[in-house]
Amino acid sequence: MKLRKIIRIRAILLAKSGLRIGMSRDQMAIGDLDNPVIRNPLTEEPYIPGSSLKGKLRYLLEWALGGDYILKSKDKHVYASPDPQDPVARIFGLAPENNPESLRIAQERGPTRLLVRDAYLTEDSKRELERVAARGGLYTEIKQEVFIPRLGGNANPRTTERVPAGARFGVEMTYRVLDALDEEYFKKYLLKALKLLELDGLGGHISRGYGQVFFLHPGKPWEGQEDLPLEERLEIQEVPL
Amino acid sequence: MRLTLFRLYFQSPLKELPRAPSLLGHLLWWYRYTHGREALEELLAEPLPFRLSSVFPEGWLPRPKLPPVQVEETEKRKALKNLRLVSLETFARLAEEGEGALLTAPELSGKTPPEPKRLRRSRVGIDRATGAARKGILFAEELLFPDPQTPYALYLLGDPPFDPKEALAFVGEMGYGGKASVGLGRFRVEGPFPCELPEAKTPTAHMTLAPGPLEGALYYELEPYWGRLGGGYVGATPFKRPHLRTREGSLYREVPGPLALDVTPLEPPEEGVRVYELLQVFPLGVRV
């Protein structure tokens, strides 16, 4: 097993609706938000952790493939396929059990092919959001929602922090190609998962309209990309070794 | 001593700043994946002709474990106790004059190294049936966030039989340490730069910039270590067999050769496989 090449995918992720990737907090001051978004502690800017993006891609692909991925994932975090050619385990990785057979399969399968980076706000998007900051927020909007009790009574308000629609993040992923099957899986499964992400969503509350995302090619004018297929809206490069 | 310096600029959070044995493991896995298994076995048949240091903020070195000085004043004693890194200027004085030089060092009155910020980040497992966060699968991990503009120094002694910048750039691109597949541990590399570090003119001992073996250590700080197996065994439960090693800053009278500690777990990851931890002292001369 030898590394043949690396494929790098770059894109701008456009939040078409408010995007909320939350974080938990250890302490809360009086008047604090109870649902903050995750932020870089150095810059206080919201970002998309690679784990959120990768986890959602994996989840969508597993649902698209169905079967054991859903039915047998109950006892474990994810379904551990015994097949070294299993596309999900190959692309997204799988921690082997501590037994010789599982380790043998892991070795035959090889390392995780897909690496997903944390996605940070683009410079121009940051400047736009700084104008929001001047109006009291901190690169985000505080959205007020109300829960309505079905049998009358008082409305129960809740506040949620989210990155406003229109924000853009620089996305970068790396895909390792160790054999011909990896090349096939890149087109067949990874691009499919990215398409599903645009149709589904990212982050929390997507069933209520949050988290609609759209990929834009970073090197092309953004106007007119709405009608292009996904493959043409991603910058896909082969990195020489 | 003539060294080679590489500057690392961290582009993402990571679990721990790179330390010599783990970084060496990463470089050897790079060699394995790009040159093949036979080439790696050939490389490891002879003692490696180079030594790597752990990574520190540029301009700072670990405080040498010199014989301590007695300090009456409580505040000063506590400040002295908490000092982990010293500037190159302070190190030059310490190497010649001993720990007494620390009492007048700017580090005791607030000069601090650029430490990465810490943040506890939580992650949840998604329930495949409902799509919501799954009860009982909440991970909390404390991550380091180094400033992406701050250079961190990696020192190299000797000549590796491969291009070290190419290897480091690959590791930086793929990510160092755990959770690299979700974006942790990325760095950008600059270098190589020729470099000299301060040392005592007539040293009587050597301070190490990398974790070292307990054998032959003079003044030292120990750490128990039982790291996970890397590369093809990522995620597997077997850990290396626990062992003791000295931390960076420990002192040695002589510079020992590389020590390959057998740390194979009681249940080896594969039949017939032995696992070794390579400990090499990266020496800087000091007077004790």
CA distances to A133, A142, B41, B115, B135 from A205, in Å: 24, 14, 52, 36, 17
Q: Which residues on B lie below 8 Å from A118 (Cβ)?
A: 12-13, 183
From A101, which residue of chain B is nearest by alpha-carbon distance? B270
| Contact check, Cβ <8 Å, B145/A114 | no
Confidence of residue A141 (pLDDT cuts 50, 70, 90): confident
Mind telling me how many Å the CA of B32 is from chain A's nearest CA?
Answer: 8
Q: Which residues on B lie below 8 Å from A2 (Cβ)?
A: 33-34, 36
Which residue in the set A42, A62, A98 is minimally distant from B237, CB to CB? A98
Mind telling me how many Å the CA of A156 is from chain B's nearest CA?
Answer: 23
Which residue in the set B36, B131, B235 is minimally distant from A95, CB to CB? B235
CA distances to A31, A159, B67, B263 from A154, in Å: 21, 16, 70, 65
pLDDT digits (tens, 9 = 90+) for B161-184: 999 999 999 999 999 988 898 999
pLDDT at A190 over 80: yes
The Cα A138–Cα A118 span in angstroms is 20
pLDDT of residue A179: 93
The interface predicted TM-score of the complex, written ipTM, equals 0.80
pLDDT of residue B17: 96
| Contact check, Cβ <8 Å, B121/A38 | yes
Positions of E strands within B64-177? 85-87, 117-126, 133-145, 152-158
SS3 B211: coil
Confidence of residue A119 (pLDDT cuts 50, 70, 90): very high
Q: Which residues on B lie below 8 Å from A117 (Cβ)?
A: 12, 183, 186
| Contact check, Cβ <8 Å, B137/A3 | no
Confidence of residue A31 (pLDDT cuts 50, 70, 90): low
| Contact check, Cβ <8 Å, B271/A100 | yes
| Contact check, Cβ <8 Å, A111/B119 | no
Q: Which residues on A lie below 8 Å from B232 (Cβ)?
A: 106-107, 110-111
Total beta-carbon pairs less than 8 A apart between chain A and chain B: 111
The pLDDT mean for chain B works out to 91
List the end-to-end C-alpha distance of chain B, in Å, as a whole number. 19
SS3 B203: coil
Taking phi first (over 0 means left), then psi (-120 to 50 degrees means alpha), and beta for anything else, what does residue B272 get? left
pLDDT digits (tens, 9 = 90+) for B71-119: 889 988 888 988 999 999 999 999 999 999 999 999 988 889 999 999 8
Q: What percent of chain A has pLDDT above 70?
A: 92
* Long-range residue pairs from B84-89, CB within 8 A, at least 24 positions apart, any chain: B85/B56, B85/B57, B85/B60, B85/B61, B85/B113, B86/B60, B86/B61, B86/B62, B87/B59, B87/B60, B87/B61, B87/B111, B87/B113, B88/B59, B88/B60, B88/B61, B88/B197, B88/B198, B89/B198
Q: Which of A35, A39, A65, A13 is nearest to A201 (CA)?
A: A13
Indicate which of B124, B126, B184, B228 best probes the interface with A, i.e. most A CBs within 10 Å of its own CB: B126
| Contact check, Cβ <8 Å, A110/B123 | no
The Cα A58–Cα A166 span in angstroms is 25
Which residue in the set A100, A103, A115 is minimally distant from B180, CB to CB? A115
Token digits of residue B256: 């020992």
| Contact check, Cβ <8 Å, A103/B234 | no
Which residue in the set A42, A174, A241 is minimally distant from B147, CB to CB? A42
pLDDT at A177 over 90: yes
Among the residue ranges A173-177, B138-142, B198-202, the one predicted with the least confidence is B138-142
| Contact check, Cβ <8 Å, B186/A117 | yes
Q: Which residues on A lie below 8 Å from B182 (Cβ)?
A: 49-51, 54, 115-116
Average pLDDT over residues A46-56: 94
Mind telling me how many Å the CA of B20 is from chain A's nearest CA?
Answer: 23
Among the residue ranges A177-186, A194-203, B73-82, B160-169, the one predicted with the least confidence is B73-82
Mind telling me how many Å the CA of A224 is from chain B's nearest CA?
Answer: 31
Which residue in the set B34, B181, B237 is minimally distant from A3, CB to CB? B34
pTM comes to 0.88
Among the residue ranges A33-37, A60-64, A107-111, the one predicted with the least confidence is A33-37
The Cα B236–Cα B134 span in angstroms is 23
